Amino acid sequence: MMAMYTRVLTPPKSTFFLLGPRGTGKTFWLQENFPDVKRYDLLRTSEFLRLLKSPDLLRQDIETLPSGSWIIIDEIQKLPQLLDEVHSLITDSRGKYKFALTGSSARKLKRSGANLLPGRSINRIFFPLTLRELNQTPTPESLMRWGGLPAVRSAIEDKDEMLGIDLLETYVQNYLRQEIQEEAAVKRLEPFVRFFEVTSIMNGQLMNQANISREAGIARPTVQGYFDVLVETLIGTYLPSWRRRVKIKEVGHPKFYFFDPGLVRALAGRLREPLDSIEAGYLLETWVFHELRAWISYSGCGGELSYWRTTSGTEVDFIWTRGKKAIGIEVKLSNSWKSEWSRPLLELAGDGYIQKGFGIYLGKQKLKIGKLSVFPFAEFFDALYKGEVIES
C-alpha cells in the first residue's frame, strides 16, 4: 500500500490551475482537500470522448449543482476547448461555481490558444515531495538516488528498491516517451530518446547545444526544440545566469535541470548503479534546486532563481533575487567545508551584490564566516522552512 504524505500547499479559495509533472500527487492532494466534489478525469477514455463530442455537456452537468460547488477537471490540457465552457460558467454564474483544473503540460494549452481564464483564475505549481513532507528523513544519498516522486519514495520507505526501480523505469517508458509523442511534440521518438539520454548526463550543467547535437546525432535547431518540449511539459526547467551589471564578463548560457533526481538516473540508465562523485554532485544540486523552487512557490515569497559564473570559473550555484534583495547559495558534496568555497559569496556580499550567503554541505557542524552561514544538509532546509533563508 502506498504511503500517504501530508502536502504543504494551501488550497486556494477561488478557481485555479494546478500544474505539475505527472506522478507528483496532484490528484491525491485534490481528493484530500476537495472530497466529494464533482470530478472529470480526462485520462478516462469514456469521459474524454463524451466531452470531446459534446463540450456543452459540461455546462449541463454543472448547472445541476448547488451554489458554492467546486468542480475538478483533471488533465485539462487533454481537452483545452473545455476552458471556454468553464469561462462561460464562471461569468454567467457570477462566482456560483469554482474550478480546480489540473494539468501535466502547459504545451497544449499554449499551442492551442486555449482560454486561460485571465482575471478569473490563479496558478499553482505542484512539485515532488520536499523533505518536510516526507514521513521519514532520508539521507542525502537516498534523495539523490531516488528523488521525490511519492510512489517511489513510498517504495523506498518500505525498503523495496526493485519496486522503486520499476516505477521510475515505467515512468520513463510509459509516460515521458509515449505522452510526449502523443502530444505531437515530436514527430519521431527515436532521436528524442537519444536526446533524453544525452541530456540526462548533462543535467545541472551549462547548456551546450552543439555538444548535445553531436552526441545525440540530432540537428542543433531540433535540440533547442526538444528542450522547449521538456520545459513546456514540466519535465525540466532552465536556470538562467545572473548578471551583476558590472564590467566583469559573465557566462550568459542557462543551465538545465530535470525536475527530479530519480528521473535523471532513470533516463541515464543508472538506477542499478552506485552513485559516482561527479553524478552525485549535480544530483545534490538538483535536489536543492527543487526545494528552493517549491519553497518559493508554496510560501508565496516570490522572486527569481539564477546562477552566477564568470569566464574565469568563479561560480555560485544559486542566486535568489526579488527587487533589491539577493542571497547566494553554494552546494558542496563534501563532509568538510573548504575556505576557497566561501570566497565568491563573501566577495559578492562585500561588494553589496547580495545581503547574505549560505553554504550547504554534508558535514555535521554549522559554520559562520562573516555574512556566510554554512549548514549541514538537513539543517539548511529546516532554516529554509522557517523563513530564515529566503525572506517573505
Q: What is the model's pLDDT at position 249?
A: 54
Residue 2 is assigned to a structural domain of this protein: no
* 236 within 8 A of 258, measured Cβ to Cβ: yes
* 169 within 8 A of 240, measured Cβ to Cβ: no
Q: Buried b vs exposed e over 128-167: b needs ≥16 C-beta within 10 Å?
A: bbbbbbbeeebebebbbbbbbbbbbbbbbbeeeeeebbeb
Residue 190 is assigned to a structural domain of this protein: yes
pLDDT in tens, 147-201: 999 999 999 999 999 999 999 999 998 776 666 666 555 667 778 888 888 899 8
Last residue of a domain, one of 96, 125, 154: 125
Last residue of a domain, one of 91, 125, 159: 125
Residue 312 is assigned to a structural domain of this protein: yes
First to last CA, the chain: 38
Residues 268 and 137 in one domain: yes
Q: What is the model's pLDDT at position 284?
A: 98
Residues 320 and 187 in one domain: yes
pTM, full prediction: 0.92
Q: What is the model's pLDDT at position 207?
A: 86
Residues 218 and 111 in one domain: no
Three-class HEC string of the chain: CCCCCCCCCCCCCCCEEEECCCCCCHHHHHHHHCCCCEEEECCCHHHHHHHHHCCHHHHHHHCCCCCCCEEEEECHHHCCCHHHHHHHHHHHHCCCCEEEEEECCCHHHHHCCCCCCCCCCEEEECCCCCHHHCCCCCCHHHHHHHCCCHHHHHHHHCCCHHHHHHHHHHHHHHHHHHHHHHCCCCCCHHHHHHHHHHHHHCCCCECCHHHHHHHHCCCHHHHHHHHHHHHHCCCEEEECECCCCCCCCECCCCEEEECCHHHHHHHCCCCCCCCCHHHHHHHHHHHHHHHHHHHHHHHCCCCEEEEEEECCCCEEEEEEEECCEEEEEEECCCCCCCHHHCHHHHHHHHCCCCCEEEEEECCCCCEEECCEEEEEHHHHHHHHHCCCCCCC
**Joined grid coordinates for residue 121:** 483564475
Residues 71 and 137 in one domain: no
Residue 7 is assigned to a structural domain of this protein: no
Closest CA to 288 of 375, 187, 214, 201: 375
Residue 3 is assigned to a structural domain of this protein: no
The Cα 385–Cα 383 span in angstroms is: 6
pLDDT in tens, 1-11: 667 899 999 99
Q: What is the model's pLDDT at position 42?
A: 92
Residues 177 and 75 in one domain: no
Residues 76 and 121 in one domain: yes
Per-residue model confidence as pLDDT tens for the chain (392 residues): 667 899 999 999 999 999 999 899 999 999 999 999 999 999 899 999 999 999 999 999 999 999 999 999 998 988 988 988 898 888 888 879 999 999 887 766 666 555 566 667 899 999 999 999 999 889 999 999 999 999 999 999 999 999 999 999 999 987 766 666 665 556 677 788 888 888 998 999 988 888 888 988 888 888 888 888 888 888 899 999 997 765 555 567 899 999 999 999 999 999 999 999 889 999 999 999 999 999 999 999 999 999 999 877 789 999 999 999 999 999 999 999 999 999 999 999 999 999 999 999 999 999 999 999 999 999 999 999 999 999 87
Q: What is the model's pLDDT at position 314?
A: 86
Residues 150 and 262 in one domain: yes
Name the residue range of residue 270's domain: 129-392
* 59 within 8 A of 85, measured Cβ to Cβ: yes
Residues 234 and 362 in one domain: yes
Residues 181 and 159 in one domain: yes
**Joined grid coordinates for residue 143:** 534523495
Residues 107 and 214 in one domain: no
Query: What's the sign of the alpha-carbon dihedral 228, 230, 231, 234?
Result: positive
Considering all CA atoms of the chain, what is the largest pairwise distance in Å, rounded to the nearest integer? 67
Last residue of a domain, one of 125, 160, 185: 125
Number of folded domains in the chain?
2
Residues 113 and 178 in one domain: no
Domain with 57 in it: what CATH number?
A: 3.40.50.300
Residue 133 is assigned to a structural domain of this protein: yes
The Cα 370–Cα 11 span in angstroms is: 40
Q: What is the model's pLDDT at position 39?
A: 95
Residues 192 and 167 in one domain: yes
- Angular region, 21: left φ>0, alpha ψ -120 to 50, beta rest: beta
